[in-house]
Amino acid sequence: MSRLSPHSFATVWTVMRKELRDIARDHRTLALNLLLTPMLYPVLILGMGKLMDSRTQTQLEQPLQIPTLGRGHAPNLVAFLAAQGLQTVDPPPQLTTAIRNQDIDVALRISDDYAQAWREGRPALVEIIRDSTRRDADVPSARLQAALTAYGQQVGALRLLARGIDAQVARPLDVATQDLATAEARRGIFMAALLPVLLILTSFVGGAALILDATAGERERQSLEPLLATPAARSAIVSGKIAAACVVGLVTLLLTLLSFKFSAQLSSTGLGRQLNVGFVQMLQMLFVLLPMLFIGTSLLTWLAAAAKSMKEAQSHLTWLLLLPMLPGYALAAYPLKTEAWQFAVPFLAQNQMLLKLIRHESVSAQVWAIYLLAGFGLAGLLWFAAVRRYHQERLAISA
């Protein structure tokens, strides 16, 4: 029998309490499962945000020294760069080697015929020298590029004015941009890039420690056979174990969201404050992730039931951890417009739903119906597969 009868719910409750009591006795595992993940994510993200803000502010506000070849060819340009906080200095003998060794972020080369081209009214060549694969040189390079562009526009306008031509003649279009993004969506850009993946990953494997120990671990300890020898329905036993794992996963998710909220309130950086999650939004996210909790625990139950040892069961986590990341990589490589079918695809559906909540967008009843039917439908199929596997008598035989 794979169908739960009314009297089987008492068995489900008994098995669930038994599994929760067992994991509660293992204080170290419980602490790692409930505390390490919720504490680790915010610390890492807020720490990285603070480092990024500190690095950017330092490079944007403080004067930068730009090693420059041919400084004497363009004194006016050198003076303009100095007014922008970019001090030109003599380059080292081996400029290319210094840039590749990360001794210098960016350098400037002014061509030898700069003065002649300037007098003749031709474009004078200046060359920005950098290593494009070094991310730490992006801000200095952008500052130098912006300063050179501003100088070129200023000189071009003065040349036209000297010839009695309005500089606006060379600007046939005034291009303006109207951003229709809501304030909530703009504030949630950073959160939308990281939070969905982390929450989906946490919900997917949040109950892994309990479910692996309750199946493969009990089989290895030869304590599963007495449980299966009882007259309790296999479906009730499986449901009790899955329910216990879902409880642990739900608590882990809640603690993760709370840690994001409280750490964001303590953060002084812009990136950190973007991770602040409201309590209503938090409850909505938990509801959205419920199908993923059941999908993850049911899948792990099915996989662990076929494993001959705890080590074999744990080896599945290597590839399972990659699944929640696939939608993020796919959308980054090939962005898609939101369509109804996306809310029926595992992991992608959760990602899209969380993005809607983060952006404070309304979700139609049709989308909710597709999402919940597809999510709980897949969870039901995996639950049925796990129950069928529990009917195999070899499950009670340890390796």
Residue 350 pLDDT > 60: yes
Residues 74-132: tens digit of each pLDDT: 889 999 999 888 889 988 888 888 888 888 889 999 998 988 888 888 888 999 999 88
- Evaluate whether residue 3 is within a structural domain: no
Residues 147-176: tens digit of each pLDDT: 999 998 888 888 888 888 877 777 777 777
- Evaluate whether residue 178 is within a structural domain: no
The residue from 170, 198, 218 where one domain ends is 170
- Evaluate whether residue 326 is within a structural domain: yes
**pLDDT value at residue 1:** 44
Q: Give the closest residue to 157 by CA, choosing from 143, 169, 175, 172.
A: 169
Mean of pLDDT over the chain: 82
More confident residue, 175 or 320: 320
Residues 369 and 271 in one domain: yes
**pLDDT value at residue 392:** 79
Residues 29 and 67 in one domain: no
Residues 211 and 289 in one domain: yes
**Mean pLDDT score, 167-194:** 68
Bridge-based pairing of strands 126-130 and 86-89 is unpaired
By percentage, how much of the chain surpasses pLDDT 70? 84
- Evaluate whether residue 176 is within a structural domain: no
- Evaluate whether residue 2 is within a structural domain: no
Domain count, the chain: 2
Residue 5 pLDDT > 60: no
**pLDDT value at residue 381:** 95
Residues 375 and 254 in one domain: yes
Residues 92 and 222 in one domain: no
State the Cα–Cα distance between residues 301 and 287, nearest whole angstrom.
22
State the Cα–Cα distance between residues 309 and 300, nearest whole angstrom.
14
**pLDDT value at residue 181:** 66
What separation in angstroms does the CA of 326 have from each of 173, 288, 321, 332, 379?
A: 42, 19, 10, 10, 19
**Mean pLDDT score, 184-197:** 66
Residues 324-339: tens digit of each pLDDT: 888 777 777 777 778 8
Residues 67 and 37 in one domain: no
- Evaluate whether residue 58 is within a structural domain: no
Residues 253 and 357 in one domain: yes
**pLDDT value at residue 269:** 56
Cα first-last separation, the chain? 26
| Residues 6 or more apart in contact with residue 150 via CB below 8 angstroms | 84
Domain of 166: which CATH number?
3.40.1710.10
The residue from 170, 191, 215 where one domain ends is 170
Residues 82 and 151 in one domain: yes
With tokens 């007098």, the residue in question is 119
Residues 101 and 237 in one domain: no
Structural domain harbouring 311 = 8-53+183-396
**pLDDT value at residue 305:** 86
Residues 252-264: tens digit of each pLDDT: 888 888 887 777 6
- Evaluate whether residue 112 is within a structural domain: yes
More confident residue, 11 or 301: 301
State the Cα–Cα distance between residues 114 and 128, nearest whole angstrom.
15
The residue from 143, 170, 197 where one domain ends is 170
Residues 108 and 18 in one domain: no
| Residues 6 or more apart in contact with residue 286 via CB below 8 angstroms | 250, 253, 254, 257
**pLDDT value at residue 93:** 87
Residues 310 and 349 in one domain: yes
More confident residue, 64 or 385: 385
**pLDDT value at residue 399:** 46
